[in-house]
Chains A and B, each alone.
Chain A
Amino acid sequence: MKRAAVIGAGYIAREHLDCLRSLASVDIVGICDLSPTLAQAAAEEFQVPHWYTDSAAMLRELAPEVVHVTTPPGSHVLLARQALEAGAHVLVEKPITFDRDELRRLQQLAASRGLVLLEDHNYLFNDSVERIREQAKAGRLGEVVHVDVIFAVDILGEGSPFADPDAPHPSLSLPGGAVADFVTHLAYLAYAFVGPPRAVHTVWDKRGSGPVPPWDEFRALVDAERGTASLSFSARAQPDLFWLRVHGTRMRATASLFEPLLVFERLYQGPRPLFPVRNGLAAAVAYSHSAVAGLWRKLGGRPITYSGLWRLLSRFYRALEEGAPPPLSPDWIEAVNRLVGDLVAQKTAQ
């Protein structure tokens, strides 16, 4: 049984808490937030025995073995260091930092104390992404040629915290603004299939008329060691979408990460003109299944978008219990951080 604590009681913390209370090997001992009401409300809702507004006091008094940092990005490094120094394994929401040196120092601190420092790359653990990675690993995709990652989400609409000029969203202070809040997802999905970048080209643009965020459109073309990747974020294209498409020499896989959609387009035996027919029928079945299964999961209160987070946390705690390697290695986290840094650095140069 691991004693866990959560720092930050906002929206994403609720997903962590919801998952943690479903894990038999976890005892949630404390929750902390600068707002006493948010901390107390989260403690009440998730039956956490202690709540704090001072993270240092919580770490000192409760001595948790694992700490989840779910605060806005600007505080991630400080709180992760504080938790590591208190002797806790740490899982930090993305991005830990855009500064490679800061990340390296944190990783060195974790390694020197025999602790795990993990960044939340949750979509990597969604069913559909795991299945595509299995197909790639087994060689059924053939050689991976290219990856498309497309994220479109309406962050400019009424009520969106990203578009509220009176209470600027914390991500707006990041290099890259609101887009930077999503770019880590694009980066680790690309990295998973095409590896480290050799060159990166980006377009950062603002097409919407509102005062915030500073950029609402982002495109990148990545020339990587094992193939190429195109990454796209749009705050204006609708409806909302998060697609991963992996193009192999023998198969193409398409997954929607907001729904349980997974489509494989294959090369078949037989006449070539029939390939589109068979692939079209397979896609129709996959879309129909996704529509029904997605609705069923929503009605059942089971996670869809954050299903990867639940799996990541489950594996993280199992690894801690068994003394096994964590679900993401320090090298992986550093490599993704480097790619994210390259993408964001181009914005700075522009």
Chain B
Amino acid sequence: MSARLLLVVLATLVTAACATAPTAPPPVAAPPTPAPVARVAPPPPEPVPAIFKSDDFIVVTAKAGDTAESLATQHLGAAAKSWMIEDYMGARAFTAGQRVIIPLKPWNPTGVEANGYQLVPILCYHNLGPQAKGRLLLGASQFEQQMRYLKAEGYRVISLGEFIEWMEGKRQLPKRSVVITFDDGYRAFREFASPLLKELGFTATLFVYTDYIGAGRNALAWDDLKTLAAEGFDVQAHSKTHGDLRRAKDETEAQHAQRLQVELAEPLKLFQRHLGRSIDRLAYPYGSADDDVVAKAKTVGYVAAFTVRRQGSPAFVQPLRVNRSQIYSEMSLEDFAKNLNVYHQEDLR
């Protein structure tokens, strides 16, 4: 008790001394300075937080009520960068007087550490409807439950573009990053997914195969895709016909090469023509690809391509064999959560 009193008095005295220094400008955003002479301890004011800064870090002393968001706004220029503080400190909110380390640049671009490495789960959905039907058509309420779970558990839904930049070493990602993708191009996405995703501040990538666009009764049309792209959803390729891209038994090498050319190059042209922009990401139909398919996809101009191997991907995954986890209608929320592993533990010392 007496120790605390002593501390308050000392702090007050020193702060007062410094505040009266002739050349000192008034402190920025500081709590009211206590009266110059304080005999009796006033209600204890928080000491003005210290700021130390280097090229790599800022070290600040938190005020009461400081959060990763408030500190990110103040020191990193954007609340959206709060994940940097949150991940570095392992906390979202801070107590008055706590020293907070704010990294100014990516401190671990690949997320590989001495005790394991970061994984980014990429979820793969297909169709949605009022009721589940078959494995690949999820009920809207089940999907909503899963999305709200992501939000509540602090997962950060990032765009596929951000994931690719991570693979390329161009950015670091929040620790609990997740990507959402939808295959084929079902109309139900507009009805059941996009409003909810927007509400939650999530985004998604649609992999559509071009023969289906505007074809089936349940298919999205080019106009839908244009709208979705304008709303910030990423629209990418899923081949032309949705045929297995690997060479069939009765196919000659030349036939296969020709078929691959059509399957992989045609979508590029069509996207350019209908949406006025190029694409560079591919989801393999059925998730299947072998070395030939991968090589061809690369030649044609895809920078990232996606399978359906059920696991998250590290930053050093092969860019044309990125994993995705298909979400089935029979999965319970617990089963769903098993697809959200964001760290692979392994002693790498």
Chain A bound to chain B: no
Interface residues of chain A, those whose CB is within 8 Å of chain B, are none
Interface residues of chain B, those whose CB is within 8 Å of chain A, are none
